[in-house]
Amino acid sequence: MSKKPEITKKRHLEMVLQNILPHTKPKVHLEQYTTPANIAAAILWNAYSLGDIEDNKVVDMGCGTGIFAVGAVLMGARKVMGIDIDPDAIEIAKKHASEFGIDNLAEFISGDVKDIVCNADTVIQNPPFGAQKAGRKNADRIFMKKAIEIAPVVYSFHMKETEEFVEKYFASLGGLVTHKFYYSFNIPKIYDFHRKEKINIDVVVFRIEKNI
């Protein structure tokens, strides 16, 4: 049984999500960046408003430390699964679930998303952008393909400069873009090669419905 949403205002949701700890040991080859709480709250609020959260099973792919998974439960998801290839991130996500008292509704799995077999109502994902040479080639496509396999509704983060390609790729997978949300993604200096204290990357979040 799902709980009724505990959050009634987007600002309240953002304040709660600010308690989600970032990666303690971010790995550059996995392009690990924590989604800012204000952006995570905005996406979850929009998804809730569109009927994609409450009483639904939500999968957070590339969940990191669990910001979307935790937020989805607080917004009334029936069940949440978080998936990440990094076991260190999964351990932090599990701790968050325990601290929020949602262990019974949130499951976290360490594994490669391409190998995951499950079904859901909604997928929310912030996949690797493929911006680092050390990263996994075409990792974003792996996430997009798997998301469409898993759920009829997908929310997916991408660099704005790839907007046209991403929309066409989702279309080739049988997905129709119904909404686009634009944000400036603030990335702090967390890797040795970062020369600035922070940079801003323009991102677009697609809401996709699978053509059935």
Domain ranges for the chain, please list them: 28-210
Its sign, for the CA torsion 111, 13, 79, 176, is negative
- pLDDT higher than threshold 70 for residue 202: yes
Q: 187-199 pLDDT, tens per residue?
A: 655 445 445 556 7
Model confidence band, residue 170 (pLDDT cutoffs 50, 70, 90): very high
Q: What is the pLDDT of residue 197?
A: 54
Q: What is the pLDDT of residue 28?
A: 57
Q: What is the pLDDT of residue 1?
A: 44
For 167-206, give the secondary structure using H, E and C.
HHHHHHCCEEEEEEEEEEEEEECCCCCCCCCEEEEEEEEE
- pLDDT higher than threshold 60 for residue 77: yes
Model confidence band, residue 30 (pLDDT cutoffs 50, 70, 90): low
What's the one-letter identity of residue 130? G
Q: What is the pLDDT of residue 164?
A: 96
Q: What is the pLDDT of residue 162?
A: 94
Q: What is the pLDDT of residue 33?
A: 75
What's the one-letter identity of residue 114? K
pLDDT over 70 for what percent of the chain? 82
pTM of the shown model: 0.89
The lowest-confidence range among 8-12, 16-20, 195-199 is 195-199
15-19 own/partner pairs: CB under 8 Å, 24+ apart: 16/71, 16/74, 17/41, 17/67, 17/70, 17/71
Q: What is the pLDDT of residue 57?
A: 98
Measured in degrees and rounded to the nearest 5, phi and psi for residue 147 equal: -60, -45
**CATH class label, 28-210:** alpha beta
Helix (H) and strand (E) counts in the chain: 6, 7
- pLDDT higher than threshold 50 for residue 2: no
Q: What's the CA gap between 186 and 42, in Å, rounded? A: 15
Report the DSSP beta bridge partners of residue 179.
207
Mean pLDDT (the chain) is 87
